[in-house]
Structure formats: C-alpha cells, structure tokens
C-alpha cells in the first residue's frame, strides 16, 4: 500500500441498471483521520456508490481496496467486518423496538446465553450521551421525532466502532444546535483516526467540516478539490454550469386572497393564527422548531383538527378536518416527509402522479387509464423528471425527482393554493433552482403558494411576504424588502404579544445558523 494512512480506495467502479448507467468509472479514496465530502446532484450516483460499500450492490467493473487489499463486499456483514458503517438518509430503525434494542439489533450483549437487557440499555445510554440526545434507551422508536431518530441512527453507527463511517445527509433534519453537536462528534472521530465519507447538499458545511471533496456528475467523478474551494466552483463542478442567481424569484402583480385563515386555534399547539395568501404570491413561514408551522398548515389542509377559527378558499369556508373538502377547494400539500406522507414508494411514477386525480378520472368504477397515462407523461416531461419511464418505482428516483413527483400530482389537479413544507430539504442545488422556477410558474399562472422552510435564505429569497411564528402564534409579518435574517430571527425568538427585540446593528446570526432557521 503506497499510503499507510489510506483506509479505502475505489478504482474505476461501474454499475448499470436496466436502461441506466448509474456509475461509470468512478475513483475515490479515503484516508485515516479525514472527512472526505462526496458531492453531487441527486441522481449523480452518490447513493449507488455508498451502497457498493455497504454491500447492497456489487460493481459490474472496477475494484474496491481496503487497507491496500482488494476486497469483495457481498452484504452488510462483509461491510461491517471491514469496519465500514453507513448512516442512510432513510432511517433503518424498527419502530416497535426500543432505542437500545435498535442500536444493538442483532448484537445485544448476552449473559448466560440470554440477552442482557440491563447492559444493553446502559451501553446505549453511553452512546446517546455521546451524540448529545436526551432520550431514554427504553423509549420506543415510534415515539421519537425525526431529529431524534437521526441521532439514534448515528449512535447505532458509533456502536459498530467503525474505521470508516459513511454519513448520507446526516444534517438534513437537524437544528443548528444539533448540527454543532454532530460536527463535534465528527471532529472527535476524525481525531481518533476514523475516516468519514460525508454527503451533504449544504455547501457551507463543506468548509466547516471537510478536508477534501470529490464531485460526481452523471455517474462520473469529475474532480477532487480541497474543502475550501469556493462555492461557485463547487456548483459549477456539480451541475456543469454556473448558477448566477440562487433564488430566482419573479415577483409580479398579485390578485385577491385565495387562502384566508382567521383565528385558527388548537389548544396547546397554536393560537389565534390569521393570515392571507393572494393569487400570484408566495408567502413564507419562518420560525424555530416547535413554533407550530407544520401543525398550522396541516390544520389548514384538514389533516389535523383545530378547535376554533376558519379557513376559506376564495371566500368559501372549508369544513374542519376534511382533507377531501380542502382538495376539492383547490388546496394541495407537499409534506415535510415526502417519503412517508407524500408518496407511495412501491408504486410507479405514473401511479403517484395520478393519486390526486384518480377519483375524477373514474366513471362508473372504471378508471380512464389512457387519460391518466397521457397526463402523467405530460407533467413528468414538463417537470423534467429524470426516470427510466413512467413505470419506474418512485422509490428508486433521486430525492429531487421524488419531490417533483409530489408537486406534479398537485399540478395535475389544477391546485389553486399549494402548501410547501420544507420543499427543498435534502435536494441538491441544481434541483432546488428547478423547484424555485416551478414556484415562479405557479404564481405567474395565478396560483398562491404558502411555503414553510427552515432554510432562512430560501424564505427570504423566494417569499413576497414572510410570516414569523413563535410559540404557536404569528409573531410578525415582514414584506420582502424589509425581511432580513436578523429581523426574522428577532421575531422568531420573541414572545408574541410583546415587542420583538430590535435587530442588532451587526449580524450575530451566522449564515449557516440562519439557513437552518433555528
């Protein structure tokens, strides 16, 4: 082995699936005690590459070397034996088991041939403390929120005592405080000699944590650069072109109120929430985690109940807790958890695109399959969904293309008011701009968009007005020309009903923190 610090090397890896070349001659290496960032758009081949290392896929050509020796990885056991642990974007946890049982699943400590539950829980508690999450090892996983689930996944990976740790978008669902805790863990692991493959779409994280960056585009490794490389150059390598304007909002004339919310209240969750969204307008909702943003829009959509208040579309009041009534009135919701709530993962692209319009396309119990197929093809083409065909399972699409499918089903339904909850979470910069352009097209056609995002620059860049929530209430409203990171954050940390603290003269919120909205 030419470099004694080299833990892993990939040479000329190629992998094809029917109709698609996922990887075509990719090279990559990882050294002891470094964070090597793997960067690329959704669909570039990053997930396929890490699945090679975890044993989910085997390469068609090329080779993998560990410690200078060529190895074959045919499954998860081979990967673990080589000291490789992978934290996937999709949680790999069993909901009905406890946190401790999930962390040590299949590897629980034993005593006299029986599982030593006490030691399992004690060992799990040590790992949970290490990742800085306050949760009982006896808690059922189904009881945890998304951020805590992510930290349990990290604790599970740490329990393997891996020499190589692969982290696929580990910060996508974390608050800035949790991100800093994670970064501290990663830095300590790096100091301990662990090699870390870090996949992220947050470009500001690369300079903060990385050592080297390998960029993959269209299944090929197109460059390896230092982590301090300017973001503009990283974007150019990723997408093959420069993106001059990150938030291309096209503001035009607005019409009358399409969505009106008056005094919406759910005891203990949100209180006296009132706002309007007009035709041709994007209204952003900013706030800290727990401010009640998602809960409010789910109530507007009829997915969750509320105790008082009213929701109107074009002046007509909607029945409470009635999703069908909301949909019939022209409201669509792209949920925060697109895989769990927005898609049927084992159904095809065509089937997912037709979910909302299926009832309208059915006459006397017979579905107009030809019409549904034509409509799905038209909208998939309009959105530029990258796929092998309409019959491809949506599970196999990249994150950005899955999001296009979620949005596409509402476009087919001629939605008047589209609610977007974290619309670009886990999506690369190129796909983000495509989503923003789609928002522009919707508002230009007279639709109204209500957008929740924890990416504060995104809220500022794409909103015509910004509503800031704090403690379940609207703390304030800012026009686009007066909304800044500091003015939004001042409202987000205020106590509604009392004057917000004035924004500081010099910024105290870093771009990274503000971008998380926490």
pLDDT in tens, 93-111: 899 999 999 999 888 888 8
Share above pLDDT 70 across residues of the chain, in percent, rounded to a whole number: 92
Q: In degrees to the nearest 10, what's the CA dihedral of 203, 207, 213, 216?
A: 0
Return the closest-CA partner of residue 425 out of 296, 517, 292.
517
Q: Which of 72-86, 349-363, 394-408 has the lowest mean pLDDT?
A: 349-363
- Check: CB of residue 36 under 8 Å from CB of residue 211: yes
Does residue 505 register a pLDDT over 80?
A: no
* pLDDT band at residue 115 under the 50/70/90 scheme: confident
Distance between alpha carbon 449 and the CA centroid of its chain, in Å?
Answer: 19
Does residue 2 register a pLDDT over 70?
A: no
Q: What span, in angstroms and rounded, lies between the C-alpha atoms of 450 and 282?
A: 6
What is the predicted pLDDT for the residue at 274? 97
pLDDT per residue as tens digits for the range 321-351? 999 999 999 999 999 888 888 888 889 998 8
Identify the top-confidence range among 234-238, 359-363, 416-420: 416-420
Q: Which of 24-33, 204-213, 265-274, 403-412 has the lowest mean pLDDT?
A: 403-412
Does residue 508 register a pLDDT over 60?
A: no
- Taking residues 452-473, report their average pLDDT: 92
Does residue 288 register a pLDDT over 90?
A: no
Does residue 517 register a pLDDT over 70?
A: no
pLDDT per residue as tens digits for the range 65-77? 998 899 999 988 8
* pLDDT band at residue 498 under the 50/70/90 scheme: low
Pairing, β 282-287 against β 465-470: parallel
Return the closest-CA partner of residue 224 out of 371, 28, 370.
28
What is the predicted pLDDT for the residue at 368? 67
What is the predicted pLDDT for the residue at 216? 93
* pLDDT band at residue 198 under the 50/70/90 scheme: very high
CA atoms within 13 A on the CB side of 358: 9
- Taking residues 398-409, report their average pLDDT: 86
Return the closest-CA partner of residue 28 out of 4, 8, 53, 48.
8
What is the predicted pLDDT for the residue at 286? 93
Q: How is 133-165 classified by DSSP, letter by letter? A: ----TTSBGGGS-HHHHHHHHHHHHHTTT-SEE
* pLDDT band at residue 511 under the 50/70/90 scheme: very low
What Å distances lie between residue 509 and 13, 100, 246, 458, 485, CA to CA? 42, 36, 20, 15, 8
Q: How many CB atoms lie within 10 A of CB 213?
A: 23
Does residue 42 register a pLDDT over 80?
A: no
Structure tokens at 367: 């579905």
- Taking residues 190-218, report their average pLDDT: 91
Pairing, β 270-278 against β 257-266: antiparallel
Greater pLDDT, 180 or 331: 331
What is the predicted pLDDT for the residue at 21? 86
8-state DSSP, 396: G
Identify the top-confidence range among 200-204, 282-286, 424-428, 435-439: 282-286
What is the predicted pLDDT for the residue at 499? 47
* pLDDT band at residue 221 under the 50/70/90 scheme: very high
What is the predicted pLDDT for the residue at 446? 94
Q: What span, in angstroms and rounded, lies between the C-alpha atoms of 509 and 518?
A: 10
Does residue 284 register a pLDDT over 90?
A: yes
* pLDDT band at residue 197 under the 50/70/90 scheme: very high
* pLDDT band at residue 218 under the 50/70/90 scheme: confident
What is the predicted pLDDT for the residue at 244? 52
Q: How does the average pLDDT of the chain come out, rounded?
A: 86
Q: Is 49 exposed, middle or buried, given 0-12, 13-18 or 19+ CB atoms closer than 10 A?
A: buried
The residues, any chain, with a CB within 8 Å of residue 209's CB and separated by 6 or more, are 35, 37, 183, 186, 187, 198, 227
CA atoms within 13 A on the CB side of 251: 12
Backbone phi and psi for residue 42, each to the nearest 5 degrees, phi listed first? -60, 135
Backbone phi and psi for residue 278, each to the nearest 5 degrees, phi listed first? -95, 160
Structure tokens at 467: 């509503």
Greater pLDDT, 165 or 160: 165
Greater pLDDT, 513 or 368: 368
Greater pLDDT, 507 or 12: 12
The residues, any chain, with a CB within 8 Å of residue 98's CB and separated by 6 or more, are 121, 137, 138, 139, 140, 141
Where helices occur in 159-211 by DSSP H, the ranges are: 176-191, 203-209
Does residue 363 register a pLDDT over 70?
A: no
What is the predicted pLDDT for the residue at 45? 87
Structure tokens at 180: 């800093």
């Amino acid at each position: 082995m030419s470099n004694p610090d080299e833990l892993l090397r990939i040479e000329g890896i190629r992998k094809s699936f029917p109709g698609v070349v996922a990887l075509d001659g990719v090279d990559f290496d990882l050294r002891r005690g470094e964070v090597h960032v793997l960067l690329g758009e959704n669909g570039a081949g990053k997930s396929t590459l890490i699945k090679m290392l975890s044993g989910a896929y085997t390469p068609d050509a090329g080779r993998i070397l560990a410690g200078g020796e060529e190895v074959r990885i045919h499954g998860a056991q081979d990967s673990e034996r080589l000291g490789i642990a992978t934290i996937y974007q999709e949680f790999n946890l069993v909901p009905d088991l406890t946190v401790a049982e999930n962390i040590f699943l299949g590897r629980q400590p034993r005593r006299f041939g029986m599982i030593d539950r006490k030691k399992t829980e004690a060992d799990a508690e040590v790992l949970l403390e290490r990742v800085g999450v306050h949760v009982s090892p006896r808690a059922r996983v189904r009881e945890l929120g998304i951020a805590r689930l992510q930290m349990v996944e990290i604790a599970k990976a740490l329990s393997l005592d891996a020499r190589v740790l692969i982290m696929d978008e580990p910060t996508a669902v974390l608050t800035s405080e949790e991100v800093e805790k994670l970064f501290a863990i990663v830095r300590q692991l790096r100091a301990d000699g662990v090699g870390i493959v870090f996949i992220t779409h947050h470009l500001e994280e690369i300079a903060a944590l990385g050592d080297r960056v390998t960029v993959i585009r269209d299944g090929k490794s197109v460059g390896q650069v230092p982590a301090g490389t300017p973001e503009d150059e990283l974007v150019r390598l990723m997408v093959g072109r420069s993106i001059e304007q990150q938030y291309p909002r096209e503001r035009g004339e607005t019409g009358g109120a399409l969505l009106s919310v008056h005094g919406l209240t759910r005891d203990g969750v949100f209180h006296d929430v009132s706002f309007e969204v007009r035709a041709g307008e994007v209204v952003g909702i900013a706030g800290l985690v727990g401010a009640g943003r998602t809960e409010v829009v789910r109530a507007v959509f009829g997915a969750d109940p509320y105790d008082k208040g009213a929701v109107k579309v074009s002046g007509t009041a909607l029945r409470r807790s009635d999703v069908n009534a909301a949909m019939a009135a022209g409201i669509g919701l792209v949920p925060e958890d697109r895989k769990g709530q927005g898609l049927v993962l084992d159904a095809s692209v065509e089937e997912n695109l037709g979910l909302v319009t299926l009832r309208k396309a059915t006459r006397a119990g017979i579905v107009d399959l030809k019409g549904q197929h034509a409509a799905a093809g038209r909208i998939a083409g309009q959105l530029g969904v990258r796929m092998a065909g309409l019959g491809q399972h949506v599970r196999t699409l990249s994150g950005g293309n899955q999001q296009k499918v979620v949005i596409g089903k509402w476009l087919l339904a001629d939605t008047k008011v589209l609610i977007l909850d974290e619309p670009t979470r886990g999506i690369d910069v190129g796909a983000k701009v495509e989503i923003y352009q789609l928002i522009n097209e919707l508002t230009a056609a007279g639709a109204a968009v209500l957008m929740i995002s924890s990416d504060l620059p995104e809220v500022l860049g794409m909103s015509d007005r910004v509503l800031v929530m704090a403690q379940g209430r609207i703390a304030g409203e800012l026009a686009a020309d007066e909304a800044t990171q500091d003015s939004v954050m001042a409202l987000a940390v205020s106590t509604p009903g009392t004057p917000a603290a004035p924004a500081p003269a010099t910024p105290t919120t870093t771009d990274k923190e503000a971008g998380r909205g926490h």
